[in-house]
Amino acid sequence: MKFVGACEYDGSSFSGFQSQKNAQSVQGTLEKAISSVGRLTNTINYSGRTDAGVHSLGQVFDFESVDSRTLEQWLRGINSALPDSVSVTSLQEAPKDFHSRFDAIKRTYAYIIYTGSTRPIFLKDYVFWEKNNIDIDLMQNESNFLIGTHNFSSFRGSKCTSNNPVRTIDSIEISKKEDFIVVTITANAYLYNMVRIIVGTLLERSAGRLQKSMQDILESENRINAGKTAQAQGLFFLGAEYKNFSLIKPTRSNSFLSLLLPLNK
């Protein structure tokens, strides 16, 4: 039987989501927990790979098992075997041909920027502290040039292995709540470090450190023209959307993150 779940995790202590040799990954941690409840037919599939230090509030994954367990037994058993930094927030049965990655039509990330005057000691793993004044209107206007289907070679990391640099961005929303600025991006898929490079470039444009416009940078199709890659700590993967499958939405309290992030994406 196939199951699909959603999980959230604090990426601070992980090498990233995808399994790696001699490194702690979220995928490996999840598979170990699932295997403690029932036998995995294969490795799990997942909707988006996140790098070291990147967090998630809605990573979608699916797995198969021939062992008979109720959904409650799976969910409770998996969570009891997970560390405090990972939690499966929902679990449901899925069609045999469902695939978390290949069936996803949209994926949403959010990047949190802190603009307070002093270092955010207790939030250092979850926000990027920007010391310069930020022009939100400029950032929003500049980001609008990225909406649509484009060649995003200017915003791909040097380790990107994708053969096709064309992606479609549906929306970029920039909002401010007190000392926090949140950049939320929804696209069909992403190139390696694409979100972090976009955010880093917008911040440098806002600070006046880049003279080229986002339109010029995009059309140049050259990474050298874009800004620095923003640090991983402020980035959150919010989840994926599917055309013919509805995911269970977990209920969350009014925590720090739920007040800042568009968790209903």
What pLDDT is recorded for position 265? Answer: 46
What pLDDT is recorded for position 20? Answer: 86
Residue 122 CA to residue 112 CA, distance in Å, equals 14
Q: Among 10, 51, 84, 135, which one carries the catalytic annotation?
A: 51
Q: Which candidate, 235, 252, 27, places its Cα nearest to that of 111?
A: 235
Residue 59 CA to residue 199 CA, distance in Å, equals 21
Site of tokens 């198969």? 64
Whether 133 and 14 share a structural domain: no
Amino acid identity of residue 94, one-letter, is A
Q: What is the pTM of this model?
A: 0.93
Domain termination site, one of 54, 71, 102:
102
Domain termination site, one of 102, 135, 161:
102
| 51 counts as catalytic | yes
The count of structural domains within the chain is 2
Kindly report, residue by residue over 59-109, the tens digit of the pLDDT: 999 999 999 999 999 999 999 999 999 999 999 999 999 999 999 999 999
What is the extent of the structural domain holding 125?
109-237
Whether 228 and 124 share a structural domain: yes
Kindly report, residue by residue over 54-67, the tens digit of the pLDDT: 999 999 999 999 99
What pLDDT is recorded for position 156? Answer: 96
- CATH number of the domain that 90 lies in? 3.30.70.580
